[in-house]
Chain A
């Protein structure tokens, strides 16, 4: 089965630093998502992306966050100035359509902000 790949698997950063989390969605998918899971808590929706623009975002996704699809294959999540509470597992997902297909999840990037 095709896979969504995420790099790095672990990222440690200092508070206030910028981080970029990278994802390669499945090649024929058109919809892309970022979710996060703080340790012991539920999976939270951050943002969905289609046709090179954000289609939906949650209240978590504030001005510190941005997403980009720079080259037609990668899908990145940037956090400009990380806070301690940004420490979480970040999952990228993609789907072929926005409503009738399952989400294919990557294995996640564990972000630790010190």
Chain B
């Protein structure tokens, strides 16, 4: 079965600072990778996803993530954060299990951006 770990539980940045949130997964086979965001009081939304091809994936709102297969990593980046990026970010891995494909989430990283 797959597992996902996110290294940072809380991150505090000032506006215009660069962001990198770590995500590592463990699974021996083919995976699909996702980053979801949950703004305060709202439901989960997809930021970006990787299935195959170019390992550098661009998503909405200026976010990007890089899949490094050798490191089992899928880190999320943004060159310059805004106050509106304050949210919780979840890395997720979709892989085949005994009963079919299952998506497992990391513990999440709470980002607070100071204006």
Question: B108 near A43 (CB under 8 angstroms)?
Answer: yes
Smallest CB-CB separation from B94: which chain A residue? A99
**Distance in angstroms between the alpha carbons of A19 and B32 in the assembled complex:** 34
B102 at the interface (CB under 8 A from A): yes
B22 at the interface (CB under 8 A from A): no
**Distance in angstroms between the alpha carbons of A38 and B36 in the assembled complex:** 17
Given contacts A41-B107, A45-B104, contact A56 B34 (CB under 8 A): no
Given contacts A102-B49, A105-B43, contact A56 B106 (CB under 8 A): no
B12 at the interface (CB under 8 A from A): no
**Distance in angstroms between the alpha carbons of A56 and B102 in the assembled complex:** 8
Question: A45 near B102 (CB under 8 angstroms)?
Answer: yes
Q: Which of A27-61 contact B (CB under 8 A)?
A: 33, 35, 41-45, 48, 50, 54-57
**Distance in angstroms between the alpha carbons of A106 and B42 in the assembled complex:** 10
B interface vs A, CB < 8 Å? 32, 34, 36, 42-46, 49, 51, 90, 94, 96-108
A25 at the interface (CB under 8 A from B): no
**Distance in angstroms between the alpha carbons of A42 and B106 in the assembled complex:** 7
Partner of B99, one of A35, A48, A108: A48
Question: A102 near B107 (CB under 8 angstroms)?
Answer: no
**Distance in angstroms between the alpha carbons of A41 and B94 in the assembled complex:** 20
A7 at the interface (CB under 8 A from B): no
**Distance in angstroms between the alpha carbons of A43 and B104 in the assembled complex:** 8
